[in-house]
Amino acid sequence: MANPFVHVELQTRDVARAKDFYGRLFGWTLVDEPMPGGGGSYTMIQVGEGTGGGMFTNPDPQAPPCWTAYVAVDDIAASTARARELGARIVVDCMAVGDYGSMSVFVDPGGATLAMWQPKMPAA
């Protein structure tokens, strides 16, 4: 399948509470890792088979907790530009995420939020 969903991410006000709830509800393995560039930790959600994800404390205390889905793309800049051309509002323009890859986030013309992800290719 072209452009599959590859990651889901919870932005929350209380990561400890979310970890307790989802870990007990689904039996997920939750592993804390340092955020790229510092600034706290990121909890990786390891689900075994299927799409995993992560959770972190939203830096905006006024923002409501929410889940965001990520779709894999081959070219983050071109895909973000195409989303904009098709009427999306870019919320987070293309940005590097440590040594892992690059992402962007948009709101589609109907008002739904979606993120895109381009993994960093390993050096040949």
Per-residue pLDDT of 70-115, as tens digits, reads 999 999 999 999 999 999 999 999 999 988 999 999 999 999 999 9
Q: Which CATH number is 73-124's, of 3.40.50.150, 2.40.110.10, 3.40.1390.10, 3.10.180.10?
A: 3.10.180.10
Task: Please check the confidence at residue 46 and state whether its pLDDT lies above 60.
Answer: yes
For the record, the structure tokens of 109 come out as 């013309």
The pLDDT, as a whole number, for residue 96 is 94
For the record, the structure tokens of 10 come out as 């919870």
The pLDDT, as a whole number, for residue 1 is 53
Range 1-60 classified under CATH 3.10.180.10: yes
Handedness of CA 75, 2, 99, 41 (dihedral sign): positive
Task: Quote the percentage of the chain above a pLDDT of 90.
Answer: 81
Q: How far apart are CA 8 and CA 94, in angstroms?
A: 18
